[in-house]
Structures are given as structure tokens and as C-alpha cells.
Structure 1
Amino acid sequence: MIDFAVQRIRSFLPRAGAVLLGLAVAVSLSACGDDSSGGSGMQGPTVEQSISSQSVTSDQGTVDVADLNNVFSGENLSFQVSSSASDVVSASTDGSTLTIDPQNGGSAAVSATASNDAGSAQTSFDVEVTLPDAPGAPNGQ
């Protein structure tokens, strides 16, 4: 009877080891942070505040509009900006600071995008660029 029990245990051990190994691998992978948000456990960026519309004159020079770290939330963010009409206003970033540079009179929409390994988020605002008053022109007419 003891020999029979020993043989049963010996035949069971390899299968039990394989089950335990599979369980250990599954636990290990779940601890690595693999998930549906890009595999890193990181959350995608979100827009936390909007950027208000801007009114500038074409001779104003570069204007700092917003710190994009306050506009978006998230980890390891990179930023990109663009203008719908770069002949009216160009947009760029200096670190996390969004700047606009008025060129000519008109209107444009400026978009700001924050990205990380888990995704991206975007917001936009309008810019109205007016031409400066001509020298000697009466104001308000």
C-alpha cells in the first residue's frame, strides 16, 4: 500500500510543478504592469483646463500663452502645437510653454496636443490677429 501511494505521488509531482510554474508566470506578468493602456500601467493624458481665446496685433511679437503642464495632466508628456493658418499666427513650444507669434491680420485656430506611451489628448483655442493702426491714423475710425 505504501509503494502504491509513493508511486501516485511521484506521478503527480511533475503535473503539480507545471501548474505551479504556470501560476508563477501569470502572477509575474500581472506585476509588470501590462494592461490595455499601452503596457506600462501609465494613464493617457487628459485636458485639465482650456486655453482662452487670444487677441493680439501683428506687430506684438512672440506671446507666451500657457504652460502646457497646467493644461494637461499625465506622466512623461511631450507636446506638439500647430496653427490652422501659419501665415496669420505661428505656434511653438519652449519646453512646456506654448507661444504664439502673430504674423498678419486674420483668424486661426491653434491646437495643442499632449502625448505619452498610453495615448494623447488635444485642446484648441482661437487667435484673432489685428493689424496695428497706421501712423497718424485717427483712433477708433
Structure 2
Amino acid sequence: MKELKIETTLYVYDALSELDKEVQDLMEQAVEARDKAYAPYSKFYVGAALLLDNGEVITGSNQENASYPSGLCAERTAIYYAGAKYPKAQIVRMAVTAASQINKTTAPIPPCGACRQAIAEYEVKQEVPIKIYFMGETGAVAVSNSLANLLPLLFDKAAL
């Protein structure tokens, strides 16, 4: 037997204002997307904004359905639209923000497991890390320089 130690590094800023203007603008677009979310069941609203290497910004929001598994998260909504509209573009960075009508969200809220897997697919495909910024409605912002920090034991095409 041998031990496998996994370490990850995130950077946490106390507030969005500590980040550069380009990141603040991207997060603002994620907030605008969050405001368009359809979440009548969970009351949990998520917005995502992707900056592509061609300069385009793609946004997405979570879209729920009474048949719960039929809904789609904000991150995947944005990623799949970007892949469909700009198939050759690379995702440079992603901003994600979440707010709840039930609880105040002041801590950074990372993408869910399914979204991490979807982000991983695009990071592997483009062979370039995707920088991910995530936050609640207010407060601290966490930054990961790659999806690999959020999903260290990645399942990808190499396993197939």
C-alpha cells in the first residue's frame, strides 16, 4: 500500500472589489444572469459568466423543472451554449454567483459536482486551465486557477 496525498490551492478575497476590473465586470454579468434564473422550487438562484478567448462573454442561469433532474445549472447552461455557438473558442475564465431566498449566501459557493465534471470536459478539450471565480450573493470570492483544484481525481476521456 502507498499513500496518495491530494492537495489543492484556492485563493480567497474578502470582497469582489479586491479583484481587477475585468473580473468585477465578468462577475457583474454573472449577477445579471443570476437575476434571470428560474428557480421556483429551490429558491436558489445561480448565474455564470464565461469569458472566451475570442472576447465574447456567455452567460447562463439555472433553470429548474418540476421534474427535478430535468433542470440545468447555470454553469452548464453557459458552457453548453458557448460550445454550441463558438465550438473553437476556449474558456479563459468563469464567474459564478449564487443567492438564496431562504438563506443569506455570504460564503463562496462552488460549482456542483455535475458542473465540475462538465467544466472538466471543456478544460481537457481545450488543454488550457479555466480560471474559476465563485461567490455567494455578497462577501468573499474564491478563485481556482484550474478546475483540477475543485475536482482533483478527474474522470475524462483517458479513462474510456
With the shorter chain as reference, the TM-score category is under 0.3
Query: TM-score, normalised on structure 1?
Result: 0.27
Greater Rg by CA: 1
Provide the TM-score with structure 2 as the length reference. Answer: 0.24
